[in-house]
């Protein structure tokens, strides 16, 4: 009989081990509060594309309301797919999905070439095909993760944060330079006041109140803006109390080769940005995104886009501002985002409730967004800290990628004379910076440091939650070591208690 038995931790969930923060289920009140905070951060981004497209189509108020409701409903469904997951669909991370703004330009081009009803039908047919193709291509596209060492990761995450700053500035100053209130003292004052308020609340509030500091800042900013005439409540006059988007209510799908190709390019760019966002989120929540996680997340993008076309929405992709919110609040539970997805569905079914969220003035939202987007950039800098930037070659990779990625951010019309298909990619600082970082790293460093060792977390084959690869790989039977001397093989060194405890925590 052996003198001692070494038992190995298999990473099972048997009630004796703490769940990873990503899998933590919070009390209902906190789930709702944190979920509403996520919606407040992304609501303007969800409703802006259907507003712009609806105005270009000349839709009447009722159909405009249906278009916005469909976008909210499908964003909720896509977010639930990402956070909760079904089979191998969904990253099972606190990952918010919604209508990608990258689809607006090609959709407007389609609208310009056709009449109202035909244009919507062609758009929905193109989105449906692009979503299905993205779903099929997800496991192949996800293999790019092996080329994302910390040097590339950190550069891309930093660019995600930097590329969002013009959005926040646009919310504060206004996007119409001809408007009377563009960059007015009132708008800048509201934005600056909210910015400072959110920083102070995050610094001095504790516990639960600290986690909802952004939401508190938005509420206070809106209350301050109301008597100053900066709150637009006209949405209530047009929003119906209840409405259920029906399949193909706004238009049955029709197909055009050129339109489908342009939307597929948009979907490809969205998949690239989603991959970068999943890698960024994995670093923030301490659960690095491996190939299976990214493939599952991209399948959710594709499935969400296809469903969106059925119910009247557009292509779905990740919302980077919500990645910043996770970094800012340090609330890592995916069920918080699932709660946000449920509320988004309710907003789609009850437009009158969505009108309440729309009360937040854009300058107030922009002031809070500056903190959010800065959090994303700082997460990227933290990831770059893991790379050897003392090596001049690595510093050159970062410098070149950020330089290329900042071009469309600093000068949106820089690629104005390039073909429209190329501009779909080139006009995205995230996409161009990501491609530049990948290319420069391969050119100067080859594949060194770009393998799976950089992403030690794996998922099980059934599409379940990721577990520590070191634990998952260790699935042999308990090893018995006797006293037969060298014939029995070497006796393993006992593991320090601290290491054993760390293994339990990561399982």
Spatial separation of the C-alpha atoms in residues 304 and 70, rounded to whole Å = 12
Q: Are 336 and 38 in contact (CB under 8 A)?
A: yes
List, for residues 222-269, the tens digit of each pLDDT value.
999 999 988 877 766 666 778 777 888 888 888 888 788 878 877 887
Spatial separation of the C-alpha atoms in residues 253 and 120, rounded to whole Å = 8
CA distances for 298 relative to 5, 107, 141, 433, angstroms: 44, 22, 8, 20
pLDDT for position 235: 66
Q: Where in the chain are the domains?
A: 22-453
CA nearest 232: which of 361, 409, 131? 361
Region 456-473: mean pLDDT is: 37
Q: Are 436 and 404 in contact (CB under 8 A)?
A: yes
How would you write 462-498 as a 3-class SS string?
A: CCCCEEEHHHHHCCCCCEEECCCHHHHCCCCCCCCHH
CA distances for 451 relative to 240, 315, 381, 455, angstroms: 53, 31, 21, 8
pLDDT for position 60: 74
Query: Strands 316-318 and 457-459, how do they pair?
Result: unpaired
Show Cβ contacts of residue 354 under 8 Å, excluding neighbours closer than 6 positions: 43, 47, 68, 69, 72, 239, 347, 348
Burial readout 267-306 (b: 16 or more C-beta within 10 A, e: otherwise): bbbbbbbbbbbbbbbbbbbebbbbbbbbbbbbbbbbbbbb
Coil, strand or helix at 15: coil
Coil, strand or helix at 86: strand
pLDDT for position 257: 82
Spatial separation of the C-alpha atoms in residues 81 and 194, rounded to whole Å = 33
Spatial separation of the C-alpha atoms in residues 395 and 162, rounded to whole Å = 18
- Write down the mean pLDDT value for the chain: 78
Spatial separation of the C-alpha atoms in residues 81 and 234, rounded to whole Å = 33
Coil, strand or helix at 234: coil
Q: Which percentage of the chain shows pLDDT scores above 70? A: 81
Confidence of residue 18 (pLDDT cuts 50, 70, 90): low
451 or 397: which leads in pLDDT: 397
- The residue assigned the tokens 């006992």 is 494
List, for residues 118-173, the tens digit of each pLDDT value.
888 989 999 999 999 999 999 998 887 778 788 887 888 788 778 878 888 988 99
List, for residues 397-448, the tens digit of each pLDDT value.
999 999 998 998 899 889 889 887 677 678 778 778 888 998 999 999 876 5
List, for residues 183-217, the tens digit of each pLDDT value.
899 999 999 999 999 999 988 988 778 878 888 88
pLDDT for position 473: 37
pLDDT for position 483: 36
Examine the pLDDT at 8 and tell me if it is beyond 50.
no
User: Both tokens of residue 133?
Assistant: 């193709």
């Amino acid at each position: 009989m052996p003198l001692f038995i070494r038992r190995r931790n298999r990473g099972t969930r048997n009630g004796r081990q703490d769940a990873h923060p990503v899998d933590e289920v919070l009390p209902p009140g906190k789930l709702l509060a944190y979920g509403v905070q996520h919606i407040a951060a992304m609501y303007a981004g969800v409703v802006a594309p259907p507003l712009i497209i609806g105005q270009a189509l000349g839709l009447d108020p009722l159909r405009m309301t249906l278009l916005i409701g469909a976008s909210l409903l499908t964003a909720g469904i896509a977010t639930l797919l990402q956070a909760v997951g079904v089979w191998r669909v969904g990253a099972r991370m606190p990952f918010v999905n919604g209508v990608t703004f990258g689809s607006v330009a090609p959709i407007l081009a389609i609208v310009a070439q056709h009449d109202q009803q035909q244009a919507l039908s062609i758009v929905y047919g193109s989105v449906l095909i692009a979503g299905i193709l993205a779903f099929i291509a997800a496991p192949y596209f996800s293999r790019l993760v092996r080329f994302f060492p910390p040097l590339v990761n950190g550069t891309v995450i930093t660019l995600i944060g930097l590329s969002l700053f013009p959005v926040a500035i646009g919310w504060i100053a206004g996007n119409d330079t001809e408007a009377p209130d563009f960059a007015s003292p009132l708008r800048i004052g509201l934005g600056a006041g909210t910015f400072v308020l959110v920083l102070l609340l995050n610094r001095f509030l504790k516990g639960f109140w600290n986690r909802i500091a952004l939401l508190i800042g938005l509420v206070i900013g809106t209350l301050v803006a109301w008597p100053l005439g900066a709150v637009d409540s006209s949405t209530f006059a047009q929003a119906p109390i209840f409405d259920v988007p029906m399949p193909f209510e706004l238009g049955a799908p029709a197909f055009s080769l050129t339109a489908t190709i342009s939307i597929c390019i948009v979907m490809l760019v969205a998949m690239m940005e989603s991959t970068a966002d999943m890698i960024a989120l994995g670093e923030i929540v301490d659960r690095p995104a491996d190939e299976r996680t990214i493939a599952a997340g991209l399948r959710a993008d594709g499935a969400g886009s296809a469903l969106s076309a059925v119910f009247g929405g557009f292509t779905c992709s990740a919302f980077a501002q919500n990645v910043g919110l996770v970094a800012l609040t340090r609330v890592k539970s995916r069920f918080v985002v699932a709660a946000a997805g449920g509320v988004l569905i309710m907003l789609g079914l009850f437009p009158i409730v969505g009108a309440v969220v729309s009360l937040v003035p854009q300058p107030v939202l922009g002031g809070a967004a500056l903190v959010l987007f800065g959090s994303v950039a700082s997460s990227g800098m933290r990831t770059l800290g893991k790379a050897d930037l003392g090596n001049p070659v690595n510093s050159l990779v970062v410098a070149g990628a950020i330089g290329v990625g900042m071009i469309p951010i600093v000068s949106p019309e820089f690629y104005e004379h390039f073909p429209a298909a190329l501009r779909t990619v080139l006009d995205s600082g995230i996409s161009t910076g990501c491609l530049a970082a990948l290319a420069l790293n391969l050119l100067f460093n080859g594949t060194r440091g770009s393998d799976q060792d950089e992403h030690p977390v794996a998922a099980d084959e059934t599409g379940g939650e990721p577990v520590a690869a070191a634990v998952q790989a260790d699935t042999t039977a308990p090893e018995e070591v006797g006293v037969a001397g060298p014939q029995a093989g070497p006796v393993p060194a006992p593991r320090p208690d601290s290491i054993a405890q760390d293994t339990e925590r990561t399982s």
